[in-house]
Amino acid sequence: MVDKHKTIIQDAKKQFATILKESKQGVYIYLDDKHKLCNEKFASMLGYKSAKEWQNVNQPFTEAFVEPESQHTLVSAYQEAMDSKTGSCIDVAWKKPSGRVNTRVILVPISIKGHLLALHYITET
What's the angle, vertex CA 10, arms to CA 53 and CA 118, rounded to 5?
80
Residue type at 106 in one-letter notation = I
Q: What is the DSSP letter of 97?
A: T
| Pairing state between β 88-96 and 36-38 | unpaired
pLDDT of res. 18: 98
Contact of 67 with 55, CB cutoff 8 Å: no
pLDDT of res. 2: 58
pLDDT of res. 108: 98
Query: For the chain, which residues score pLDDT lower than 70?
Result: 1-2
Q: Which helix (H) or strand (E) holds 77?
A: helix 68-84
Residue range of the domain that includes 42: 4-124
pLDDT of res. 1: 42
pLDDT of res. 3: 86
Domains contained in the chain, number: 1
Q: Determine phi and psi for 75, rounding to 5 degrees.
A: -65, -40
Question: Alpha helices of 1-125 — where are they, by DSSP H?
Answer: 4-15, 17-22, 40-45, 51-55, 61-65, 68-84
- Can you give the CATH number for the domain in which 71 is found? 3.30.450.20
- Three-state SS at 49: coil
pLDDT of res. 60: 97
